Amino acid sequence: MTTADRPRGHPLYAAMGTTIFEHMSALARERGAINLGQGFPDDGYAGESPLARRLQAAAARAMIGQSQQYPPSPGLAVLRAGLAAHYSARGPAVLPAGVIVTSGATEAIAAAILALVSPGNEVLLFAPAYDAYAPLVRRAGGVAVIVPLRPPGWAYDEAAIHAAITPRTRAMIVNDPLNPLGTVASAEELAMLARLCTAHDLVAICDEVWEGVRFDGHRHRSLAAQPGMAGRAVKIGSAGKLFGLTGWKVGWAIAGEALAALVGRAHQFLTFTTPPALQFAVAEGLAYEIQLFTAQHDQWTRSRSRLIDGLREAGFVVADNAATWFVCIDLAASGIGMSDTAFAQHAIDAGVATIPVSALYEAPHPPTHLLRLCFTKPDVVLDTAVLRLSAARGGTGAGG
């Protein structure tokens, strides 16, 4: 490669490929495979839920009847007030001034990192982790310090976290419920993380986009609501996950007024604002009757059970999960002697796109026995995917 041919971009991005989610979705499109990799409900899933249909109608009305010009950078007043009321009814009081509306939760995470992390600051990340965290920390000039979570329990280890904290540690990013594993932090773990934050004067960026997607009676507890966390936590949320409309890309960051103002200053130089029609619709949707949310959650619960039951009947061992739209196959326990990346390629050849969990695990010696699958799909799609995965399993020589 000549000097003229070399990329002139930032070296962080010049050396980076596409995300594992985009890579696997692209393969699914190219091969005509079923996409259980990237996390989104298929169009027409469950006939489109009544909740989704009402929100789409609300957005259409807002597109015609409301202003289409720039809304305020922090978000429409009606949405900020709606989110403040929504969360105040479920935990400590939230003021509208503490809400910043963003173009998706990933932008909220980026704004929080850019606002709170200075060059040389260390940020604790827990692996496996959403793959945006570490690049965003590094782009802000920070140092990503990876603290691995280990199977089978994937618990937050206080001794390991304490050992990772140095005088340069500024923040931790905590994803609860945890994507990709679908695990939920215990009350004791959240209390411990809060104690460490207060003892070491750390800020917590709390990625809680899956707060409304929990199963088996698991109730959401927010790290941001723990004692001592007021003024040192930024809570991240997502309309895409709450309503099952991932393409809308409406997210938010919620914090004390001073922290929220900092996040807002970073946000104004990222997307600046978010489409007003979608903001109006989300504000309306937050006030819908609880039965609409319950019906949508019931559908997610049925699909989760259908995929888990089908996989188990096909001879796969499914790891325990308590939240998110994902379940994980334990390849080793299923008698499959292939790594997750190797079996993911084998599965795409059989017509199903999945996500190898090791792709979301930057720490050395990642677990390579787990494969993530998304279950928010029509029954026929899930059933066909199970048949194809069963055939792929048979092709590995695994026992019946």
pLDDT score for 399: 60
Q: Which of 328, 326, 362 is nearest to 133 (CA)?
A: 362
pLDDT score for 20: 80
CA torsion 307-310-312-314 (nearest 10°) is -130
Reported as a single tens digit per residue, the pLDDT across 49-59 is: 899 999 999 99
Phi and psi at residue 222, to the nearest 5°? -100, 135
Q: Between 3.90.1150.10, 3.30.930.10, 3.20.20.70, 3.10.310.30, what CATH number should domain 3-49+291-394 receive? A: 3.90.1150.10
Residues of the chain with pLDDT below 70 are 1-8, 12-16, 46, 397, 399-400
The full set of domain ranges for the chain reads 3-49+291-394, 65-285
Q: Which amino acid is at 141?
A: G
pLDDT score for 400: 54
Q: Which of 120, 125, 230 is nearest to 168 (CA)?
A: 120
pLDDT score for 4: 54
Q: What b/e readout covers 55-67, taking b as 16+ CB neighbours within 10 angstroms? A: beebbeebeeebe
pLDDT score for 12: 66
pLDDT score for 3: 53
pLDDT score for 395: 76
pLDDT score for 386: 98
**What one-character DSSP code corresponds to residue 323?**
B
pLDDT score for 51: 94
Q: For the domain bounded by 65-285, which CATH number is listed? A: 3.40.640.10
The two structure tokens encoding residue 199: 């003892």
